[in-house]
Amino acid sequence: MPTDGERREEILETAAALFASAGMRTSLKDIGDACGILPGSLYHHFESKDAIIVELVQRYRDELDEVAKEGLDALHEPGPPGVEARVVQLGEAIAACAVRHRAALLLTLYEPPTTASDVLVDLARQAPTAITAAMTEVLQAGRAAGEIRPGIDVALLAERICQSMLHVGVGVFHRQSARHLPAMKCRVYLHGIAVRAPGDATLDRSAAMRAGREVITMWSAPQPDDDRAAHLRAIGRAEFGRRGYEATTMRDIAKAAGLSTGTVYRTFPSKDDLLVSIMETFSDNFSAGWDAVLQTSSSPVEKLDALTWVNANLLDRFNEEFKIQLAWLRQSPPDSVEVGLSFGHQLRQLQELLVEGERSGLLRPGEGSAPTRARSMYEVLLTPETVVRHAGPPRALALARETVLRGALARRSR
C-alpha cells in the first residue's frame, strides 16, 4: 500500500498531466478515476480542485526560484564561460521548468478563472521576479565585462528573454524536433539576425513600415454608431477577457451592452457565434498587417522590423483577444503546435522570407531546419505581452532593433 505522501504525490502528478492535456475542465472525479481512487479518498488528501492547483502552482514557482538561484550561483563561479553561455544556460533551464509545469504555467500567465479561490488568485498574480532578476544580473555582468553593447536596456531584455523562455511551455515544442528552440531564441537576441542592420531612420522610412502603420491606423478606425454587431463584439471581447469565456453568459453581454437578451440572440444566435466573430476579426486584422508588410518591395530586414511593429501594436490594441486565447489554452490545451497566434499561413510566409534573406546575404544563416528557424523567429517577432504592457510598442520596437536585428553582444564577443 502506498503511503499518504506517495498517494498525494501520485494525485498531484496525475492532476498536472490531466490539466496540461485536457484543460481546466478536468474534474476531481477525472483525477480520482485516473488514479484509481474513490472521491471520498481523494478528499482525504485535497479538499478541492483549487487546493490541488494551488500546490501545483506553488511547486512551479518554487522550482523557478531554484532555477534563478542556480543561475546566480553559476554567475559567481570564477572563470569562463561568458555571458552567451550563461544566458543560454539560464534560458534553457527556465524553458525546461515551464515545460515540466505546463499546467501551472497556463494558470499563471493571466488572471485565473473568476471562480478561483482568493489563495489561487493571489498566487497566480505574483510575477516570476526571481528569474528576471537573475537574468538581469547575468546581462549586467556581461555589460561590465564589455560583452554586451552599451545602450542595451538589460532589464527590459532580461524580461523579454525570460518571458520568451516561459512561453516555450505554452506550446508543445518539447514533443517536436525543435527541442533546441530555447537556445536558438537566446542566440538571436545576442547575435541578431541582420548581417548589416540599417539605422533607425532608414527602418522608419521603409515601405514595409509605412504599410504596417497604415494597417494599424485602420485597426483604430471607429465603427458606425448603428453597427450593432460591432458594438456587441466590443462588449463581448471585454466581457470574455474579464470573466473568461466559460463564465460569461449571453445575459451578461446583453446587460453590459444595454440591450435585451433577445436582441443579442437575433444578432448572434449563440455565444459561440459571437466568439467566432470576435476572433475572426482579430485574425483578419493580424493577417492584414502581415500581408501588407510582406507585399512591399522592402528588404527582408526591413520587413522583419515592420512585422515586429505590427505584432507589438496587435498585442497593445487587441489585448482582450489575446487573453481570450490564453483562456482557451487553460480550458482546452491543443494537441498540435498551432498555439495562440501561431497561424500556419504566417509561418510559411516567414519561412520564405528567411530563406530569401539568407540567400541574399542580408540575414545570418540560422540553426536547424527551415521550418524550425521560422518557428523560432515567429516567436521572437512576437514581443511578450508583459513587455508591451510595461514598456509600450515604441520601446518594444527599439529593444527588438537593438537585439533581434543588431544583436546585444559587442562585436568582439560574437
Q: What is the pLDDT of residues 270-297, one digit of tens each?
A: 988 898 888 888 888 889 999 999 999 9
Q: Which three cell numbers stand for residue 141?
A: 555582468
- Residue 309 three-state SS: helix
Please answer whether residues 388 and 315 qualify as being in contact, where contact means their C-beta atoms are separated by less than 8 angstroms: yes
250-279 CB burial, b ≥16 within 10 A, e <16: bebbbebbebeeeebeebbeebeebbebbb
What mean pLDDT is reported for the chain?
A: 85
Q: How many domains does the chain contain in total?
A: 3
Q: 372 and 292 in one domain?
A: yes
Of 9-23, 170-184, 218-232, 369-383, the one with minimum mean pLDDT is 170-184
Q: 187 and 102 in one domain?
A: yes
112, pLDDT greater than 70: no
| Parent domain of 8 | 1-47
pLDDT at 181: 86
Q: 1 and 140 in one domain?
A: no
Q: 147 and 234 in one domain?
A: no
Model confidence at 318, pLDDT cuts 50, 70, 90, reads confident
List CB contacts of 286: < 8 A, sequence separation 6 or more: 314, 341, 343, 346
What percentage of the chain has pLDDT greater than the value 70?
A: 87
172, pLDDT greater than 90: no
Average pLDDT over residues 367-384: 86
Q: 59 and 41 in one domain?
A: no
Average pLDDT over residues 349-361: 95
43-77 CB burial, b ≥16 within 10 A, e <16: eebbeebbbbbbbbbeebbebbeebbeebbebbee
Model confidence at 248, pLDDT cuts 50, 70, 90, reads confident
339, pLDDT greater than 60: no
Which amino acid does the sequence have at 172? V
Q: 383 and 326 in one domain?
A: yes
Q: 397 and 257 in one domain?
A: yes
Tell me which residue has cell 509561418: 347
Please answer whether residues 130 and 112 qualify as being in contact, where contact means their C-beta atoms are separated by less than 8 angstroms: no
Q: 244 and 345 in one domain?
A: yes
The reported pTM is: 0.85
Please answer whether residues 273 and 253 qualify as being in contact, where contact means their C-beta atoms are separated by less than 8 angstroms: no
What percentage of the chain has pLDDT greater than the value 90?
A: 48
